[in-house]
Every structure is written in structure tokens, then in C-alpha cells.
Amino acid sequence: MFTPKIPPPDTAPTPGTSLVPPLTGLVHPPACTCHRTPAAPTAPVPVAPPARPTVQLTPGSLVVAAAGGTAMVLIIGTVLVSMLLATAITAASVAVCAVVLRSLLNRPNNR
């Protein structure tokens, strides 16, 4: 089952031959039929680099950026603290339920 299937020697190709026949008689047309002579080379024209936008920080925009950053930190901090608080409350309630269930199951005759 795991042995390779080798074709019998009469159908196997010899090492010097190929299974794909060679392409013969294939003629490509020229890429361009205009037959123009190339123009005389001219000096390259220097290209100005593209103008990049500059950031202008005015005192007003600096205050807005600082206020926005502070607001983002406060919002993200509030969300993370509330998630931590929700996890702590859930863990405490599960612990209380476990203690109550343990006390109920350990002493069924004391009721």
C-alpha cells in the first residue's frame, strides 16, 4: 500500500527523451511595426521633488491634541477598570455560592 507505483520498463520514458514535443515552426511577429529611428538623446530635465505637507502646530492645536489624548486615556482607563471590577464582583459571587453550596451539602442533617 505504501510502496511507490513504478511503471513497467516498456512504458517508462528514457532519460534522454521528453514527454512534451518541442515547439517548431513558431514565429513571433515583431512587437512594433513603426520602424522609426530613435530620436537624439537630450539632457534629462530635473524633476522637482513633490511637495510634502508640513504640520503646523499652533498653540490652539497643541491644546486640542493634549485634551484629546487626555480624554482617550481617561476613557480607556475607565473601561478597563470597569471590566476589572465586573470580573472581581463575579468571582466574589461565585465564591459565595460555592461556600453556601458546600455548607448545604456537608451538613444535610443539621437543618
- Which residue in 55, 54, 57, 56 sits closest to 66, CA to CA? 57
The pLDDT tens digits of the residues spanning 24-46 come to: 776 767 677 776 666 666 777 77
Give me the residue label for grid cell 451538613: 107
Reported pTM: 0.42
* Residue located via cell numbers 513504478: 6
Chain mean pLDDT for the chain? 80
- Residue 93 has a pLDDT of 97
What share of the chain in percent tops pLDDT 90? 35
Low-confidence ranges of the chain (pLDDT < 50): none
